[in-house]
Amino acid sequence: MPVLAAWNAKEDLLDLLALARTHPDRENVARLLHRFYQRCADSGLPELARLATTIEIWWPQILAFLHTGITNAGSEGTNRVIKTVARDAYGFRNPINQRLRTRCATTRKSRGHLNPA
């Protein structure tokens, strides 16, 4: 039954996050959040207790996402690309070339995004 409990808690959390960009009312958010916390507590699983603690710590940011629909996914993706390219470029003797390689990799044109044609 631990797998079922974890799956149900995950579904409760997804129900809560699905409220993003829908202008949810406080009662609905509170109800879904309480259902998630209750499911985590009733399961007795330490992993779900940790997940509930993480959600509690990050709740102000999660609530801001629910109300605005704005995330930092774009900047996180760019940071990941920068770190990957910097790792690949490790050993370049010229730091200017290393920075140039990172800049080139993080431009939208080089990644193939937003092609207007």
pLDDT for position 108: 62
Of the candidates 59, 51, 9, the residue with the CA atom closest to the CA atom of residue 30: 59
Q: Is 36 exposed, middle or buried (0-12, 13-18, 19+ CB in 10 A)?
A: buried
- For 16, phi and psi rounded to 5 degrees? -65, -45
d(CA 76, CA 53): 23
| 88 vs 42, residue with greater confidence | 42
> Mind listing the pLDDT tens digit for each residue in 53-88?
999 999 999 999 998 888 888 888 888 888 887 777
Q: Where are the domains of the chain?
A: 2-68, 73-111
What's this model's pTM, rounded to 2 decimal places?
0.66
Provide mean pLDDT across the span 4-25. 93
The torsion of the CA quartet 75, 78, 83, 86, rounded to 10 degrees, works out to -140
